[in-house]
Chains A and B, each alone.
Chain A
Amino acid sequence: MRLTLQIWRQPGPDEAGAMRTYDVDDISPDMSFLEMLDVLNERLIVDGDEPVAFDHDCREGICGACGMVIDGTPHGPLRTTTCQLHMREFSDGDTIVIEPWRSKAFGVVKDLVVDRGAFDRIIGSGGYITAPTGAAPDAHATPVSKESAETAFDNAECIGCGACVAACPNGSAMLFTSAKVNHLNVLPQGAPEREKRVLNMVSTMDDEGFGGCTLTGECATVCPKGISLDSIAGLNREFMRALRKRP
């Protein structure tokens, strides 16, 4: 099929960007969205033009590297990652608008590539359990109820892609932050640092300049891993609980 692409091109972090239009021909419906961009880039290189920069690595929907706003929806029309989106979701003659995640907390590096370092700093401020290597020789013996294990897992599935921030009208990172807080706070291993974890992660989240959550719910509708608003309710709960306990 034949498609018209409108892609955000921006040479560098501090340079101005603009939408540019490209035509791509004989695109197969079996191609993944990124393979379609590969085809475009191969042509651009040969034509002596700059290929479109975009992040990707696993191309299996698990590393969280890929991500672009496709026709206004982060990761596009399917509820999956951009790399798992296939061209059969589009039809011949379509015009597709492709943009980077837009958020003050995620600066554009180039074209569709953004800097999601803020997520790493949120994790670094408390998204872990302090367990020096070898310090817990019998950890496997601690039972964890299947229910907690499942809840922990549902939240642990977050791949840190940032689609939630891109989707949120307030540019809030609540869904991402809540996923990690819930993952660790429901586990017995996470209990000792429970209060400090949530307080520090939330204050880092705010310091990084993300917006507040007004429960618009868009994040959960685009999250490729199905993190739900329950996690946000859980984070709110943990936050107030921590304030009551005042560690």
Chain B
Amino acid sequence: MALEIRAGRPSALSTLWRSTIGKKVAMATTGVIMIGFVVFHMAGNLKVFTGAAHFNAYSHWLRTIGEPALPHEGFLWIMRVVLVASVVVHIVAAERLTHRALHQRPRKHSKKSLLGRNYVAFTMRSGGVILALFVVWHILDLTALVVNARGQSGHPYQNLVAGFSLWYPNVIYLVAMLALGFHLWHGIWSAATTLGVRSRRHRAVKLLAAALSIVVTVGFAAVPVAVMTGMVS
């Protein structure tokens, strides 16, 4: 009697999603998509240093990519859909896994030693929540322009400078960037392992993760800092 597959095993996709490993795979994949976005986004933001004209042009270009094949803001919308989907899947999976973990240990060990602790890994959940809140705020700020100090559509550069000229947006952004840095630091390596990258490459992956998370954090943070220090105005 050889191994029997559980009766009525559903499609590969639902097996994937129902399993704990599958949820991690989903987080890793959506995570990687989001990484792609942030890197691209961070690079774009650096255009701030080339002055208002360039930056606004870049923003305009974002909306006209692929025309006439795509309608106005077509690419942007595709990206938005993909991003929203990713964030949703990512968050739902994270919630499920976290829920499972919290219920797995009804009573904690009364003492926890520090043997080989990987602290960054422990910021994933809190960091994730910070990021979630940030993204909401951020969109209200610079896309929907609801909470922005200037909030003039079509003038992202001016909006941005206006925003960062106040103190609290800076605080919000810098904290978020820190959270992002940590999130990626463990996240990139973690995603690689989740996606089965072979162990001999682990050192390389760890380096890449560290490098990328630093570049992204610094790159993003550069903008508000520049505005604060008046380098950009």
Contact = CB atoms under 8 A, between A and B. Distances in A.
Interface of A: 19, 69, 71-73, 77, 97, 99, 102-105, 126, 130, 166, 169-172, 193, 196-197, 199-200, 202-203, 205-206, 209-218, 221-222, 228-230, 232-237, 239-240, 243-244, 246-247
B113 A71 contact: yes
Given A105-B104, A243-B12, A130 B3 contact: yes
Interface residues of B, number: 50
B3 A210 contact: no
Given A73-B113, A197-B3, 20 more contacts: A72-B109, A72-B110, A77-B115, A102-B105, A105-B104, A126-B3, A170-B97, A202-B21, A203-B19, A209-B104, A210-B104, A211-B105, A212-B20, A212-B23, A218-B118, A221-B116, A235-B21, A236-B194, A239-B19, A243-B15
Contacts of B107: 102
A33 B128 CA distance: 42
B194 A196 contact: no
Nearest to B11: A246
Interface in B94-112: 97, 100-101, 103-112
B186 to A, nearest CB: 8
A73 B21 contact: no
B199 A233 contact: yes
Nearest to B20: A212
Majority DSSP secondary structure for residues of A touching B: mixed
A104 B105 contact: yes
Interface string B1-28: 1111110010010011011111111000
25 contacts: A19-B110, A73-B115, A130-B1, A171-B101, A171-B105, A193-B2, A199-B5, A199-B9, A202-B20, A203-B15, A210-B20, A210-B104, A212-B24, A212-B100, A213-B20, A218-B118, A233-B198, A233-B202, A234-B196, A236-B195, A236-B196, A239-B21, A240-B196, A243-B16, A244-B12
A237 B198 CA distance: 9
Contact of A216 (B3, B105, B122, B198): B122
Contact of B124 (A214, A236, A240): A214
B121 A217 contact: yes
B109 A212 contact: no
Interface of B: 1-6, 9, 12, 15-16, 18-25, 97, 100-101, 103-113, 115-118, 121-122, 124, 186, 189-190, 193-199, 202
A71 B111 CA distance: 6
A81 to B, nearest CB: 15
B114 to A, nearest CB: 8
A233 B192 CA distance: 9
Nearest first, the 6 A-B pairs at minimum CB distance are A237-B196, A221-B116, A212-B20, A171-B104, A230-B199, A170-B101
Contacts of B190: 214-215
Contacts of A196: 3-5
A247 B106 CA distance: 37
Contacts of B189: 215
A233 B109 contact: no
Nearest to B121: A216
Given A97-B110, A233-B199, A211 B101 contact: yes
Most chain B beta-carbon neighbours within 10 Å: one of A103, A205, A213: A213
B101 A212 contact: yes
B21 A236 contact: yes
B100 A170 contact: yes
Contacts of A240: 16, 25, 195-196
